[in-house]
Amino acid sequence: MATEQLTPRYGGRALRNGVMMVGPNSIGVAVRRPDGTIETAVEPFDMPGTWARNIPFVRGPVSMIGMLKLARTSSKLENRLNPSKRGWESMLPQLAPGMAAAVADRLTQEFARRSGKAQAPIEALSGIALPFVAFGVSGQMPGVNELWRYHGAEHKAVNTAEAGLDLTPENAAEMSRVHPRCGTVFAFWGLVGGAVSRALINTMPNGKKKTIAGLLAGPAVLSAAYELLRLGAQVKDNPVGQAVFSPAWQSQRLTTLEPGREELEVALAALQTVIDFEAARAAA
C-alpha cells in the first residue's frame, strides 16, 4: 500500500447524472447513459495558480479562479457525453441548493434587522444554520436527491483510493461519505466567517471605517475559510483535530446521501479513468 505522502490527491464533484474527478494532471467525467451504460471522457488538466500554493491567505482566493476553470472544463466534458441535457431545465438540480441557501440568507438578514439589539448573535447563528437547513430540505427534491447521492459516491470513491484499496463498489460502499477536503467544508467555514463578520460590521456606525471593513471582509473570509479547510485535512487523523473540525466535516451529511451501487460504479469509473490516463502519460 502506498504511503499517504506518495498517494496522489484526487477531488471531484457530482454532476447531473454522473461524477467529475480531477487528479494531479487530468480531469475525467463519467455519466450514466439512459440505457444503463457508463461513458467516460478524460483530458489533461493543470490547475492554474500553482505559484500561490505555498503562500497562506493568498492561495485561497487564487484557487477560486482555478475552480472556475475546473467547472468550465468539467461542464464541457459532461456536455460532450450528454449533449441532450444542455438546457437550463437540466441545471435546476444543481441550482436549487444555491437558490435555497440564498433565500435562507435573505431571510436571515431580514429577521436580524427586525430583532433590534439581538441582531448580531441572531444573524451570526441563523446565518450559519439556515443555509445548511436549506441544503438538507432541497435534497428531498428528486433531481437534487440524485445529485447528493452522486456527491456521496464521489467521496466514497476518493476515500477508497486514498485508503489504498482496489476501486470496487464493495470497497467503496464501506467508506465514509464524508471527506475533509470537500467544498461543503469550505462553505461551512465561509458561512461562519461571513455571518460573524457581517454581524460585527452591522454593529459599527455608518462611515468610512464600516465601508472599508465591508470591502475587506469578503476576501478575508474566503482566505481564512480556505486555510481552515487545508488545516482540517492535515489533522484529520489527530484526535484533537477531529474534535475541532468534526462539526465542519459533518455538515456534509446535508449535501450528500448514501449512494447505491449504480452511483458508486459511475464515481469509480470517473476516478479509474483519471488514474489510467495519468499512468499512461507517465509511462509514455
The SS3 of residue 254 is helix
Of the pLDDT bands very low, low, confident and very high (cuts 50, 70, 90), residue 272 is very high
**Would you say residue 123 has pLDDT above 70?**
no
Question: Residue holding cell 476516478?
Answer: 271
Share of the chain above pLDDT 70, in %: 81
Cα(117)–Cα(122) distance, rounded to whole angstroms? 10
**Would you say residue 109 has pLDDT above 70?**
no
Q: What mean pLDDT comes out for the span 122-141? A: 70
Strands of 34-188, DSSP E: 38-44
pTM of the predicted structure, to 2 decimals: 0.84
User: What is the full DSSP assignment across 165-227?
Assistant: ----HHHHHTS-S--TT-HHHHHHHHHHHHHHHHHHHHTSPSSHHHHHHHHHHHHHHHHHHHH
The contacts of residue 37 (CB under 8 Å, 6+ apart) are none
Cα(198)–Cα(191) distance, rounded to whole angstroms? 10
Residue-wise pLDDT for 192-201, tens only, equals: 898 888 878 8
- Domain coordinates in residue numbering, the chain: 11-283
Share of the chain above pLDDT 90, in %: 53
Residue-wise pLDDT for 205-246, tens only, equals: 888 988 999 999 999 999 999 999 999 999 999 999 999 999
Residue pair 184/252 in contact by the 8 Å Cβ criterion: yes
Neighbours of 142 (CB within 10 A): 8
Q: What mean pLDDT comes out for the span 141-164? A: 93
**Would you say residue 156 has pLDDT above 90?**
yes
Of the pLDDT bands very low, low, confident and very high (cuts 50, 70, 90), residue 115 is low
**Would you say residue 119 has pLDDT above 80?**
no
The contacts of residue 209 (CB under 8 Å, 6+ apart) are none
Q: What mean pLDDT comes out for the span 235-259? A: 94
Of the pLDDT bands very low, low, confident and very high (cuts 50, 70, 90), residue 5 is very low
User: What is the full DSSP assignment across 63-116?
Assistant: HHHHHHHHHHHHHHHHHHH-GGG-SGGGGHHHHHHHHHHHHHHHHHHHHHHTTG
- What type of residue is 12? G
User: Would you state the cell numbers that stand for residue 95, as one nine-digit string?
Assistant: 441550482
**Would you say residue 175 has pLDDT above 90?**
yes
Q: What mean pLDDT comes out for the span 99-128? A: 58
